[in-house]
């Protein structure tokens, strides 16, 4: 029978601003202040009673209920409701006594309203309901039994219940106004303006409550940390209004997936988090996968522009007592691992990730210093004509000698430099150094070409083309002597921007190589849309030569030939590989068979010693003649 009322009550509650529960220490401090205020009333009312009634006993009887409430309010270990309820009843009783002592003076009724203002500090509906109930019953019952103790107006004395209702309604209105204003103000500080999702502060609070509940009743707590991949590029290329639209849509889709009892929040920028109620790891991963699927649908930005975006998601399941900060940090770490593992993925937090991250944060700090203190240098690996052994170019490769760790390989520090943004300074440094050194090396070998690796983060940076131009101008290197190596993933992820940037670079005369070709996901026919000049066959294919890798290597060479691209094989380690590559039609190669990356002076000496024809093969094999098929059109400038 009560069900409709209960459910209506619930839906009404859902409409009310939820506010934020007060932390224990703050609640205690506020409650102490209110209880002290209550106790200050006791002597004041007692003295006032003496002055009005002139009997000790009567004055004493007046303040007994107030003192009793004051005592209950001070009992520790009682629930908040009991203590705030006692303090509230004590204070409204003070109002009633004051009105009574004044002979029902209407002005004294203002005390009730002051009390309503004071109990707002509890930010809770219970004290208000008690106050209203008290006002109505007190004004009504006492108004009938002893009208002069409540009202000094004839109209009110004649209709005590009507006036009790009016006063009760005013107290109710004041209460609602107070609490609503409070909670709305508070909500403003707890909700993200753009997406209307809870913000970091509110999420933190909810996670704190969930952790407390987990200790109490063992309910599972899991948190997802969602970070959009490549969101910055959307902002940079399509403008902030489109970026905002994307964020609002992402928020909408995430909210559409989680249940009402879960909390989806925006932490700032392109970071979101979801607190899942009662999910174990497996269930949380399912939710994370559903978020990835939901985000995979294109988002309509402005006009007819559509854009898809992926996200990297870290999942953390709370398994032992821990703090909110730790939970969020671990989820962030797992997200970071998802990014590092290739983006658009879900990773579940494991303890080992933490050690790795510590290590990483040390490296991050040292890397920033290394960029300026000269412990990072540029070395050069020769690129060689596979038939004649002539050095036709070099590739600039970074080398970092860490003061304690020794050599840190680029595969470790380049990703760190990319995520921290250090790559922008580092990349500029490599570009300048390589162009300057190329001019020196071309003294020894005039047709030598310098290849420089460029990371995605550099390529999307608006300053990049200007940096290349400056490096060429300052060094005096011809644009045609510079090759920029980009990875295949850039052809897949940032298509429009990449094409635009590459076209600008080509205008400088610079050539473009696709590095590690064959490891990405670009469809081969796709290649013709990009202004590229060189394909570098990834080491993993060369590794399988002769034998398993032959078919793949051959198809890459054929593809290159059909698109009129130059082919360079990476990681040539033995002569059988060299011979096979020659046989397949590949003209150029790099690898330990010839040389590892060496410092400038050594490369220069090498070029001068053999006039660019060092005896790589050390008499073990005879240089092969160039095959007819690839003799033309593949020479490096
Ligand atoms: P990458 O551009 O594909 O460079 C080739 C890598 O293969 C180099 O590793 C080189 O030392 C290694 N290598 C060359 N020949 C052989 C061989 O015969 N066998 C084997 N096993 N490896 C060989 P390194 O120097 O460790 O560089 C790794 C990656 O780091 C580079 O791959 C490149 O992606 C990145 N990197 C290096 N320097 C820079 C830089 O200045 N800027 C950017 N953005 N990335 C860089
Ligand atoms: Mg390279
Ligand atoms: Mg490579």
- pLDDT tens, position by position, 383-427: 999 988 899 999 999 999 988 888 888 988 898 888 888 899 999
Specify the pLDDT at position 67.
Answer: 94
> Which residue is closest in CA terms to ligand 1's atom 17?
571
Check pocket membership of 235 for ligand 1, CB cut-off 6 A. Answer: no
Mean pLDDT within 299-304: 79
The first and second tokens of residue 505, run together, are 């670079």
Q: Is the pLDDT of residue 633 over 50?
A: no
For the chain, what percent of residues have pLDDT higher than 90? 43
Cβ atoms within 10 Å of 592's Cβ, excluding its own: 11
Cα–ligand 3 centroid distance for 516 (angstroms) = 4
Q: Are 535 and 568 in contact (CB under 8 A)?
A: yes
Of 371, 383, 375, nearest to 481 (Cα)? 383
Residues in the chain, total? 637
Rounded Cα gap, residues 61 and 222, in angstroms: 56
Specify the pLDDT at position 613.
Answer: 58
- Most confidently modeled of 126-130, 176-180, 228-232, 438-442? 438-442
Of 341, 70, 92, 324, nearest to 208 (Cα)? 324
Rounded Cα gap, residues 193 and 179, in angstroms: 22
pLDDT one-digit tens code per residue, 317-352:
998 888 898 899 899 989 988 988 878 899 999 888
Assign 3-state DSSP to the chain and report helix, strand, coil percentages, each to 5: 60, 15, 25
Q: Is the pLDDT of residue 54 over 50?
A: yes
Cα–ligand 3 centroid distance for 512 (angstroms) = 13
Write the CB contacts of 356 (distance below 8 Å, at least 6 apart in sequence).
none
Judged on CB neighbours under 10 Å (0-12, 13-18, 19+), 52 is: middle
Rounded Cα gap, residues 135 and 490, in angstroms: 71
Specify the pLDDT at position 14.
Answer: 56
pLDDT confidence of 353, banded at 50, 70, 90? confident
The first and second tokens of residue 161, run together, are 């219940």
> Which residue is closest in CA terms to ligand 1's atom 35?
410
Check pocket membership of 577 for ligand 1, CB cut-off 6 A. Answer: no
pLDDT one-digit tens code per residue, 211-236:
998 988 888 899 999 999 888 878 87
Rounded Cα gap, residues 40 and 455, in angstroms: 71
Specify the pLDDT at position 548.
Answer: 72
Which of the two residues, 453 and 25, has the higher pLDDT score? 453
Of 561, 568, 564, 542, nearest to 553 (Cα)? 542
Beta bridge partners of residue 347, listed in sequence order: 314
What values do phi and psi take at 405, rounded to 5? -90, -10
Q: Is the pLDDT of residue 39 over 80?
A: yes
Q: Is the pLDDT of residue 85 over 90?
A: yes
> Which residue is closest in CA terms to ligand 1's atom 21?
571
Cα–ligand 1 centroid distance for 262 (angstroms) = 45
Rounded Cα gap, residues 517 and 315, in angstroms: 32
Q: Are 45 and 97 in contact (CB under 8 A)?
A: yes
Specify the pLDDT at position 254.
Answer: 96
> Which residue is closest in CA terms to ligand 1's atom 45?
453
The first and second tokens of residue 266, run together, are 């925006």
What values do phi and psi take at 614, rounded to 5? -65, 155
> Which residue is closest in CA terms to ligand 1's atom 23?
571
Question: Among 196-200, 446-450, 555-559, which is the least confidently predicted range?
Answer: 555-559
Which of the two residues, 139 and 503, has the higher pLDDT score? 503
Write the CB contacts of 627 (distance below 8 Å, at least 6 apart in sequence).
582, 583, 585
Check pocket membership of 589 for ligand 1, CB cut-off 6 A. Answer: no
Beta bridge partners of residue 314, listed in sequence order: 225, 347
Q: Is the pLDDT of residue 279 over 90?
A: no
Specify the pLDDT at position 416.
Answer: 86
Cβ atoms within 10 Å of 161's Cβ, excluding its own: 13
Judged on CB neighbours under 10 Å (0-12, 13-18, 19+), 261 is: exposed
Rounded Cα gap, residues 282 and 274, in angstroms: 15
Specify the pLDDT at position 625.
Answer: 35
Specify the pLDDT at position 478.
Answer: 95
Distance spanning both ends of the chain, measured CA to CA: 90
pLDDT one-digit tens code per residue, 505-539:
999 999 999 998 876 555 566 777 889 999 999 88
The first and second tokens of residue 576, run together, are 């059988």
Mean pLDDT within 9-20: 59
Specify the pLDDT at position 590.
Answer: 96
Per CATH, domain 374-610 is 3.20.20.450: yes
pLDDT confidence of 4, banded at 50, 70, 90? low
Strands (E) across 303-457 are located at: 306-307, 310-317, 346-348, 376-385, 391-402, 406-408, 449-453
Specify the pLDDT at position 523.
Answer: 58
Mutate to test the pocket of ligand 1, among 395, 410, 438, 536 (most ligand atoms within 8 A of CB): 410
The first and second tokens of residue 260, run together, are 């009402």
Which of the two residues, 196 and 174, has the higher pLDDT score? 196
pLDDT confidence of 282, banded at 50, 70, 90? very high
> Which residue is closest in CA terms to ligand 1's atom 42?
453
pLDDT confidence of 9, banded at 50, 70, 90? low
pLDDT confidence of 621, banded at 50, 70, 90? very low
pLDDT one-digit tens code per residue, 126-158:
898 898 889 888 888 888 888 788 888 877 788
Helix (H, G, I), strand (E, B) or coil at 375: coil
Rounded Cα gap, residues 109 and 163, in angstroms: 12
Write the CB contacts of 473 (distance below 8 Å, at least 6 apart in sequence).
none
Check pocket membership of 433 for ligand 1, CB cut-off 6 A. Answer: no
pLDDT confidence of 13, banded at 50, 70, 90? low
Q: How many C-alpha atoms does 394 have within 13 Å on its Cβ side?
A: 31
Q: Is the pLDDT of residue 124 over 80?
A: yes
Which atom of ligand 1 is nearest the CA belonging to 452? 41
pTM of the complete model beyond 0.75: no
Cα–ligand 1 centroid distance for 557 (angstroms) = 21
> Which residue is closest in CA terms to ligand 1's atom 34?
453
> Which of 3.90.105.10, 3.20.20.70, 3.30.70.270, 3.40.50.620 is the CATH number of 200-349?
3.30.70.270
Check pocket membership of 568 for ligand 1, CB cut-off 6 A. Answer: no
> Which residue is closest in CA terms to ligand 1's atom 19?
571
Which of the two residues, 629 and 209, has the higher pLDDT score? 209
Q: Is the pLDDT of residue 626 over 80?
A: no
Mutate to test the pocket of ligand 1, among 570, 573, 594, 616 (most ligand atoms within 8 A of CB): 570
CA angle at residue 237 from 236 to 241, to 5 degrees? 75
Say whether the peptide bond before residue 546 is cis (omega within 30 degrees of 0): yes
Mean pLDDT within 273-285: 92
Specify the pLDDT at position 629.
Answer: 34
Rounded Cα gap, residues 560 and 550, in angstroms: 15
Check pocket membership of 543 for ligand 1, CB cut-off 6 A. Answer: no
Rounded Cα gap, residues 447 and 212, in angstroms: 70
Specify the pLDDT at position 91.
Answer: 96
The first and second tokens of residue 361, run together, are 């944060």
Rounded Cα gap, residues 524 and 501, in angstroms: 21
Sequence ranges of the chain with CATH classification 3.30.70.270: 200-349
Sequence ranges of the chain with CATH classification 3.20.20.450: 374-610
Mean pLDDT within 10-23: 63
Specify the pLDDT at position 421.
Answer: 86
Cα–ligand 2 centroid distance for 629 (angstroms) = 26
Check pocket membership of 425 for ligand 1, CB cut-off 6 A. Answer: no
The first and second tokens of residue 623, run together, are 């240089």
Which atom of ligand 1 is nearest the CA belonging to 597? 11
- Most confidently modeled of 223-237, 240-254, 413-427, 541-555? 240-254
Mutate to test the pocket of ligand 1, among 380, 397, 425 (most ligand atoms within 8 A of CB): 397
């Amino acid at each position: 029978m009560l069900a409709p009322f209960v459910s209506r009550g619930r839906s009404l509650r859902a409409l009310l601003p939820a506010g934020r529960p007060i932390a224990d220490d703050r609640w205690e401090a506020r409650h102490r202040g209110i209880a002290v205020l209550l106790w200050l009333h006791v002597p004041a009312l007692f003295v006032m009673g003496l002055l009005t009634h002139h009997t000790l006993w009567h004055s004493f009887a007046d303040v007994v209920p107030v003192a009793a409430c004051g005592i209950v309010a001070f009992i520790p270990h009682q629930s908040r409701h009991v203590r705030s309820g006692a303090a509230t009843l004590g204070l409204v009783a003070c109002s009633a006594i004051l009105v009574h002592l004044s002979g029902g003076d209407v002005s004294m009724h203002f005390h009730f309203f002051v009390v309503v203002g004071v109990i707002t500090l509890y930010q809770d509906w219970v004290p208000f309901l008690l106050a209203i109930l008290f006002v109505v019953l007190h004004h009504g019952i006492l108004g009938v039994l002893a009208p002069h103790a409540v009202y000094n107006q004839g109209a009110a004395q004649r209709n005590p219940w009507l006036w009790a209702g009016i006063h009760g309604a005013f107290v109710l209105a004041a209460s609602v106004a107070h609490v609503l204003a409070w909670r709305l103000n508070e909500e403003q500080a707890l909700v993200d303006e753009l997406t209307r999702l809870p913000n970091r502060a509110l999420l933190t609070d909810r996670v704190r409550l969930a952790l407390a509940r987990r200790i109490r009743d063992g309910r599972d707590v899991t948190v997802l940390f969602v970070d959009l991949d490549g969101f910055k590029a959307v902002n940079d290329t399509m403008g902030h209004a489109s970026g905002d639209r994307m964020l609002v849509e992402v928020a909408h889709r995430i909210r559409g997936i989680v249940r009402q009892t879960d909390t989806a929040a925006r932490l700032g920028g392109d970071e979101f988090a979801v607190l899942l109620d009662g999910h174990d790891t497996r269930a949380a991963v399912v939710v994370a996968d559903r978020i990835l699927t939901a985000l995979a649908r294109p988002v309509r930005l402005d006009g007819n522009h559509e854009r898809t975006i992926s996200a990297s998601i870290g999942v953390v399941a709370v398994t032992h007592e821990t703090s909110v900060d730790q939970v969020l940090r671990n989820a962030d770490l797992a997200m970071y691992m998802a990014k590092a593992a290739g983006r658009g993925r879900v990773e579940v937090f494991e303890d080992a990730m933490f050690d790795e991250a510590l290590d990483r944060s040390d490296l991050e700090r040292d890397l920033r210093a290394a960029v300026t203190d000269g412990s990072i240098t540029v070395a050069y690996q020769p690129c060689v004509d596979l038939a004649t052994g002539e050095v036709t170019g070099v590739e600039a490769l970074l080398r970092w000698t860490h003061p304690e760790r020794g050599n840190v390989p680029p595969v470790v520090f380049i990703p760190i430099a990319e995520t921290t943004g250090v790559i922008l300074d580092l990349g500029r440094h490599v570009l300048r150094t390589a162009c300057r050194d190329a001019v020196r090396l071309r003294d020894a070998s005039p047709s030598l070409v310098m290849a420089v690796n460029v990371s995605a983060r550099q390529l999307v940076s608006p300053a990049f083309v200007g940096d290349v131009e400056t490096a060429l101008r300052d060094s005096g290197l011809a644009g045609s002597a510079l090759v920029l190596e980009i990875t295949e993933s850039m052809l897949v992820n940032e298509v429009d921007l990449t094409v635009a940037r590459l076209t600008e670079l080509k205008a400088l005369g610079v050539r473009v190589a696709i590095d590690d070709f064959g490891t990405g996901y670009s469809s081969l026919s796709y290649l013709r849309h990009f202004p590229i000049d060189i394909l570098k066959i990834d080491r993993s294919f060369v590794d399988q030569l002769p034998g398993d890798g032959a078919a793949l290597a051959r198809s890459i060479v054929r593809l290159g030939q059909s698109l009129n691209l130059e082919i360079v094989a990476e990681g040539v380690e033995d002569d059988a590989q060299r011979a096979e590559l020659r046989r397949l039609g590949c003209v150029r190669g790099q690898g330990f068979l010839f040389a590892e990356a060496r410092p400038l002076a050594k490369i220069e000496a090498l070029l001068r010693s053999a006039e660019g024809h060092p005896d790589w093969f050390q008499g073990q094999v005879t240089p092969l003649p160039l095959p007819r098929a690839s003799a033309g059109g593949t020479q490096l400038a």
